[in-house]
């Protein structure tokens, strides 16, 4: 069976005129579909500060080196800004560094991670930009693993950072770290453990539906924030850049998203009853269920088209695995498409029955001969 492929399309945003935010740039995205529910200057390039560390974290996690011990360098120890107070020569597990990176925004942890995973900070930055390109972050360039204002060519957009968070949230380990409120890590200098409390106040105290995120601040970028929230099966991502009141900005966006949109089943897994051509009837199916965020008004504007290939004589009893596609429209806008699969186990003719009988009979004789 050929593996399934899925296309999701971000439909038009109907911004609420009353949705007032302090942020220069902002976006609200539904995580599973990628649909943009609200945006404000979301494609404007800006400094991003420590939300950079989302990329650093996911690259560290995907390196499959989380159980390795990292030796802290002098460069890491003397990195300026927020810190988890690493010491040169100290050995610490990469997993612990990622927790220190995400919960306490340790710039020293970022450099230690970069040197261990990328061979050098510069090598790691190359990996960051390579990953950004693969994700589709077309208005992003990373120059360091922490987000400090030491490079002019370190920037992204609210939209690109939402894409990054959406990608990262598909990783179970990242989700766990991002959503951790308190973490304990060994401290070789003392008899007690380090205790790191997450700086994300939405997660720890302000918003019950928050599931994770990353804070950021520098003098030039000002306050930046990426958070996630889930309610009633709806998973949202919010990003703000240069927002003086970012906590409330995110709550405002989340409440707007949860109130205005609901996850609606637009395609069901299993046999497609709507296709009744003789060759395909009861033999074609979708391999998974799809939900999409819709307002009450939009539900009536959804329609589905099924397109299948014209059967060919040379297919015999073995047509292609994929014989068409299901296309979903919201009004006139295509929002989703996915393959239609053919179940050839449901096709039998006299020759196939005879062949099957011969194989079963041969197998039966073989078993009895062994006895």
- Residue 134 and residue 167: Cα distance in Å, rounded? 11
Is 50 one of the annotated active-site residues of the chain? yes
Q: Which residues pair with 270 in a beta bridge?
A: 286
CA geometry: angle at 239 spanning 7 and 196, to 5°?
A: 115
Q: Kindly provide the b/e burial profile for residues 9-40, where b requires at least 16 CB atoms within 10 angstroms of the residue's own CB.
A: ebbeeeeeeebebbbbbbbbbbbbbbbbbbbb
Catalytic residue, from 73, 105, 156, 178: name it: 105
Of 294, 302, 235, 232, the closest CA to residue 262 belongs to 294
Rounded to the nearest 5 degrees, what angle is found at the Cα of 304, between the Cα atoms of 324 and 31?
95
* Alpha-helical segments (H) within 185-334: 201, 246-260
Give the whole-angstrom CA distance, residue 20 versus residue 37. 15
Q: What is the rounded distance in angstroms from the CA atom of residue 181 to the CA atom of residue 60? A: 20
Buried b (16+ CB within 10 A) or exposed e, 205-229: eebebbbbbbbbbbeebbbbbbbbb
C-beta contacts of 88-96 below 8 A and 24+ residues apart: 90/188, 90/189, 91/188, 92/185, 92/186, 92/188, 93/66, 93/67, 93/68, 93/69, 93/185, 93/186, 94/60, 94/63, 94/65, 94/66, 94/67, 94/68, 94/69, 94/70, 95/66, 95/67, 96/185, 96/186
Write down the catalytic residue from 50, 73, 156, 178: 50
CA pair distance 251, 230, nearest whole angstrom: 12
Q: How far is CA 349 from CA 344, 353, 370, in A?
A: 12, 6, 32
Instruction: Tell me the C-alpha distance between 228 and 243, whole Å.
Output: 17
d(CA 136, CA 164): 9
Among 40, 46, 53, 337, the active-site one is 53
Q: What does DSSP assign to residue 51?
A: G
For the annotated catalytic residues, the residue numbers are: 50, 53, 105
């Amino acid at each position: 069976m050929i593996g399934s492929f899925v296309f999701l399309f971000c439909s038009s945003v109907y911004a609420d005129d009353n949705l007032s935010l302090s942020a220069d740039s902002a976006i609200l995205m539904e995580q599973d579909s990628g649909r943009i529910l609200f945006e404000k200057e979301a494609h404007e390039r800006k400094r991003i500060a420590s939300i950079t560390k989302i990329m650093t974290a996911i690259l560290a996690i995907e390196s499959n080196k989380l159980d390795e011990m990292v030796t802290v360098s002098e460069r890491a120890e003397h990195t300026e800004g927020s810190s988890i107070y690493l010491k040169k020569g100290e050995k610490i597990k990469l997993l612990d560094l990622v927790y220190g990176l995400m919960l306490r925004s340790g710039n020293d942890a970022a450099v230690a991670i970069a040197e261990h995973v990328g061979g050098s900070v510069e090598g790691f930055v190359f990996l960051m930009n390579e990953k950004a390109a693969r994700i589709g972050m077309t208005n992003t360039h990373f120059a360091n693993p922490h987000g400090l204002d030491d490079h002019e060519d370190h920037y992204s957009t609210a939209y690109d950072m939402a894409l990054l968070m959406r990608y990262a949230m598909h990783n179970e380990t990242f989700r766990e770290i991002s959503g951790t409120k308190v973490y304990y890590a060994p401290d070789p200098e003392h008899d007690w453990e380090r205790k790191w409390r997450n700086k994300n106040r939405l997660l720890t105290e302000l918003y019950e539906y928050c599931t994770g995120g990353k804070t950021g601040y520098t003098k030039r970028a000002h306050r930046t924030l990426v958070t996630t929230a889930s309610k009633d099966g709806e998973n949202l991502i919010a990003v703000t850049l240069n927002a003086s009141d970012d906590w409330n900005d995110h709550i405002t966006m989340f409440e707007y998203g949860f109130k205005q949109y609901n996850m609606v089943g637009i395609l069901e897994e299993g046999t497609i009853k709507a296709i009744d051509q003789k060759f395909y009837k009861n033999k074609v199916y979708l391999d998974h269920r799809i939900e999409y965020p819709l307002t009450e008004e939009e539900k009536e504007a959804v329609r589905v088209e099924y397109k299948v290939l014209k059967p060919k004589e040379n297919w015999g009893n073995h047509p292609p695995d994929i014989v068409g596609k299901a296309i979903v429209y919201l009004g006139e806008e295509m929002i989703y498409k996915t393959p239609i699969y053919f179940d050839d186990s449901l096709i039998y003719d006299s020759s196939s029955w005879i062949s099957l009988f011969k194989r079963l009979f041969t197998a039966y004789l073989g078993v009895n001969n062994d006895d």
